[in-house]
Structure 1
Amino acid sequence: MSTSVSNPSRTSALPRITSPWRSVGAVVCLFWLVMAVIGPWLAPHDVGQVVSDDIFGPLSAQYPLGTDYMGRDMLSRMLVAARYTVGLALVAALLSSMIGTFIALAAAVSPRWLEDGICRLMDALIAIPSKMLALVIVAGFGSSVPLLIITAIIGYAPGAFRIAYSLAASLYTMEYVQVAQTRGESRLYIALREMLPNMLNPVLADLGLRFVFIVLLLSGLSFLGLGVQPPDADLGSLVRENIGGLSQGAAALIAPALAIGTLTVGVNLLIDRISSHRNGR
């Protein structure tokens, strides 16, 4: 006599756990994205206009984020700086992820000798610290918005490649890929139609991480004076130029630093939410 024993999944026996912080992350990311798009039009003053004789002025109804080291309105400067920080990081992260993913797909479906060559090249680039690479490039060629984007791509596309390649190499051994090969489908078709759709969720999660890394990289370069150059400024530049207000606890220094912190934490919370949905939690 045989008996059947039911073995319910542990996941189904556990209550569904939701965290309000994941929703907070989405709200924070949406806020900064909106500010990057419409912020400059909301600025109450011209970004370079000296509006007060009070240097490192406190928070007030007239100047909600105080004034900076020259008496300029910090709210106006932050609304404009957010466009540079979010815009540059978003463009660089998207391009890094796209380039890394498509190189990974090309390597996964290529002959073994070419696959090995691509992997060795990417491993060599990954071994170079991104901040050191950025310092060398900017010091050698000067600082400009296009060069900052290119620098971030060179620094972070290899990492995106490594994540995407591990996924692509695993998918290439799946039965549905073998069936497509048997049907005589081209390598391009297999990469884009059979493999890429099954990689999207992990790649999107990695894209969020690339964005955070690039925000911190560009902010660090700007803090060293090698990022966005005057008269333009990003959030890192605002921290650097108002560092003289550190001893006073000036809002002109604290506000951009908090902005960078909330942006990076918000993106991390959003990534956690995406990952949880992917895992069915």
Structure 2
Amino acid sequence: MNVQVIAKAQSPLMRMKPWLNISSLLCMFWLVIAIIGPWVTPYDVGKIVSHDIFAPISAQFPLGTDYLGRDMLSRMLVAARYTVGLALVASICASAIGTLIALMAVISPKTVEVVLLRIVDALISIPSKMLALVIVAGFGSSAQLLILTAIIGYAPGAFRIAYSLALNQHELEYVKVAMIRGESKFYIAVREILPNILNSVLADFGLRFVFIVLLLSGLSFLGLGIQPPNADLGSLVRENIGGLSQGAPALLAPAIAIGFLTVGVNLVIDRIARQRNQR
């Protein structure tokens, strides 16, 4: 009886726990920064506000100044929108496209399924970073092209995960029952198979987001990502690489921000996976 009382007393807290853990807070923090960041900058993002380059942390400049004397906090608040925004759009599109094509492959005739698999095999054999370098070097760099590059690079991986999950579900009895009832293939894919693979697809979506953040940051560090006067977190690291020997906050802050962003998303993915396994 006492155990039951304690369990009932703890149940509201347990229901709130997903919103109180550090991984959710980190993800929510970066999402809020991406939305409101440009409107809360203390200084104009491109304005030189100090003659002291690579200035240390101070009350006036909480993250110091960059290699030109611009306020680093202001630049990071704007750069976070590019990093989070581009990666979020690209990962949503890559996961959605990969999952939809996977469902189509599972319910399609064998010939269509084989053709789709061979096309995906060809795309997935190309390393994503090499593909991105070729596309950006050949067609230039823009936000739209970076998103398209990330989608082309990571949609095949999302397809492979969703296809293996959907194929397993397609062989189960509840799908056979739906076929006997005369349900359409579209209905079976969307109403029967998709809900049962959605948690795994969401976990894979989180991984795609992390991969794309690192891809876009790497391209920006090489000078092939977001171009000046705009910048993402990877661009800020590249711009301020001259402050490495001084341990300048202008270099350390964006690098740490990328780390916290990816760690937060990874922790959320791990939490989703644990909850799915417990069920």
Q: Does the alignment reach a TM-score above 0.5? A: yes
Name 1:273's counterpart in structure 2.
271
The answer to whether 1:109 aligns with 2:121 is no
What whole-Å deviation, never above 9, does each CA across 1:162-213 have from its counterpart, x for those lacking one? 0000001011111111111112111111100110010100000000000000
Q: Shift of residue 42 of structure 1?
A: 1.0
Residue type of the partner of 1:110? S
Name 2:7's counterpart in structure 1.
none
Name 2:230's counterpart in structure 1.
232
What whole-Å deviation, never above 9, does each CA across 1:219-264 have from its counterpart, x for those lacking one? 0000000000111000000000000000000000000000000000
SS where residue 67 of structure 1 aligns?
A: coil
Name 1:65's counterpart in structure 2.
63
Name 1:126's counterpart in structure 2.
124
Which of 160, 180, 183 pairs up with 1:182? 180
Q: Shift of residue 214 of structure 1?
A: 0.1
Q: Shift of residue 23 of structure 1?
A: 1.6
The answer to whether 1:262 aligns with 2:263 is no
Name 1:85's counterpart in structure 2.
83
What whole-Å deviation, never above 9, does each CA across 1:1-52 have from its counterpart, x for those lacking one? xxxxxxxxxxxxxxxxx999x9211111110000000011110001100000
Long gaps (5+) in structure 1: 1-17
Name 1:51's counterpart in structure 2.
49
Which of 96, 114, 117 pairs up with 1:98? 96
TM-score by length of 1: 0.92
> Alignment identity in percent?
73
Where in structure 2 are the equivalents of 1:155-166 lying within 5 Å?
155-166=153-164
Name 1:136's counterpart in structure 2.
134
Residue type of the partner of 1:104? A
Residue type of the partner of 1:121? I
Q: Which runs of 4+ in 1 moved over 3 A?
A: none
Question: In terms of mean alpha carbon deviation, does 183-192 or 31-40 score higher?
Answer: 183-192
| Alpha-carbon distance between aligned partners in 2 of 1:62 and 1:139, rounded to the nearest angstrom | 40
- The answer to which structure, 1 or 2, has the higher relative contact order (CA under 8 A, 6+ apart) is 1
| Alpha-carbon distance between aligned partners in 2 of 1:135 and 1:84, rounded to the nearest angstrom | 19
Q: Which has the higher helix share?
A: 2
Q: Shift of residue 90 of structure 1?
A: 0.3
Residue type of the partner of 2:114? D
| Alpha-carbon distance between aligned partners in 2 of 1:232 and 1:56, rounded to the nearest angstrom | 19
Name 2:6's counterpart in structure 1.
none
Name 2:212's counterpart in structure 1.
214
TM-score by length of 2: 0.92
Q: Are the counterparts in 2 of residues 23 and 270 from structure 1 also a CA contact under 8 Å?
A: no
Q: Size of the alignment, in residue pairs? A: 264
